[in-house]
Structure 1
Amino acid sequence: MSLINTEVKPFTATAYHQGKFVTVSDADLRGKWSVVFFYPADFTFVCPTELGDLADHYAEFQKLGVEIYAVSTDTHFTHKAWHDTSETIRKVQFPMVADPTWTLSRNFDVLIEDAGLADRGTFVIDPEGRIQIVEITAGGIGRDAAELLRKIKAAQYVAAHPGEVCPAKWKEGEKTLAPSLDLVGKL
């Protein structure tokens, strides 16, 4: 079953954020756009490149009113240790959420049960707490923060402009479509 347009299930977790351990819950995902960004594990290879890319684009996400929540099945203590020892991860200013009980990974259907790790899953959640974008990639395939920003801008545009849709490769300011009988077979 698709998670698109479903509400985020209740959860409470501990995160490492700006030098502190903080509590994060499903309530934090309401009232603004959010990205829940699952990755397999701290101290690995592709994962730091992805989190570093998100960190490099974090100001752009913030300008769009988007908070990022990076999630792995590691503990919050491991997140702190990784943050303290990795030059790349030291740039991360968004919450790094711990999911050692696999609650979040199961809620978002990204748990690799036999490994105790999460797939690379990206979920964009609207201010009402509904999932608008789902992307899951294989472990060896890193994601691109710039493409995620483009998708979020499209999701925000569609949410703000009922009756309009964004075509492939749409970028902010470009023409959108208004689905109608007149367009059928003409695109």
Structure 2
Amino acid sequence: MLTIGDKLPEFNVPAQKGVDALPDDERISHSDFEGKWKILFWWPKDFTFVCPTEIIGYGDLKEDFEDRDAVLIGASTDTDFVHFAWRKSDERLAAQDFWWLADNKKELANALGIVDADAGVALRATFIVDPDNIIQHITINGLNVGRNPQETLRILDALQTDELCPCNWDQGQETLKPAA
């Protein structure tokens, strides 16, 4: 598995956004968001139970991520057509206005090292990637436990200070200053 300090692998995968039209060979590449922070979060499968709670939770913070010059990108190993069908079937998911990667060949998931060997799907992995495409934070949960999107936002805030941030630090609080 890739780790902190590793470069996000180059990729060019199908992607899906919205419900206005069927997928039409849209793709997202590693270079589409150059110069931006990236919040790349993976879920195991569409049409499941924990995944929509996470997608909606991250989507609720999309503007907060954008305010921090970060782009929100969801991903699973389902196809763009499955993503589209799932969004169409659930108005809460249809309202989520960000790209969903459709890594059905598992090229990016395998390159990141996040495919569960037994289930053959991506683990619940979140990557915070800096504007130079360097991984700065990773959180990985098993298949049955959802994440806290607010914590991802808190960690992004801390990373962007480029300072020493204590446990439970929140934006606006003092950072640590080492003794001279």
TM-score by length of 2: 0.92
- Name structure 1 gaps, 5 residues minimum: 159-163, 183-187
Aligned to 2:7: 7
C-alpha distance in 1, partners of 2:155/2:32? 21
Letter in 2 for 1:153: D
Q: CA RMSD in A?
A: 1.5
Aligned to 1:36: 40
C-alpha distance in 1, partners of 2:112/2:178? 31
How does 1:73-152 map onto structure 2 within 5 Å? 73-152=77-156
Pairwise CA distance, 1:95: 0.3
C-alpha distance in 1, partners of 2:65/2:113? 25
Is the counterpart of residue 64 in structure 1 residue 63 in structure 2?
no
Pairwise CA distance, 1:29: 4.0
Letter in 2 for 1:67: V
Q: Deviations over 1:100-134 (max 9, x none)?
A: 11111111111113322000000000000000000
C-alpha distance in 1, partners of 2:27/2:79? 13
CA distance 1:75–1:2, change in 2 (3 Å): closer
Q: More helix per residue: 1 or 2?
A: 1
Pairwise CA distance, 1:139: 1.4
Q: Larger Rg: 1 or 2?
A: 1
Q: Deviations over 1:71-96 (max 9, x none)?
A: 10000000000111112211211101
Letter in 2 for 1:129: N
Higher relative contact order (CA 8 A, sep 6+): 2
Letter in 2 for 1:27: S
- Name structure 2 gaps, 5 residues minimum: none
Pairwise CA distance, 1:23: 1.2
Query: Are the counterparts in 2 of residues 73 and 100 from structure 1 also a CA contact under 8 Å?
Result: yes
Is the counterpart of residue 165 in structure 1 residue 127 in structure 2?
no
* Count, aligned residues: 176
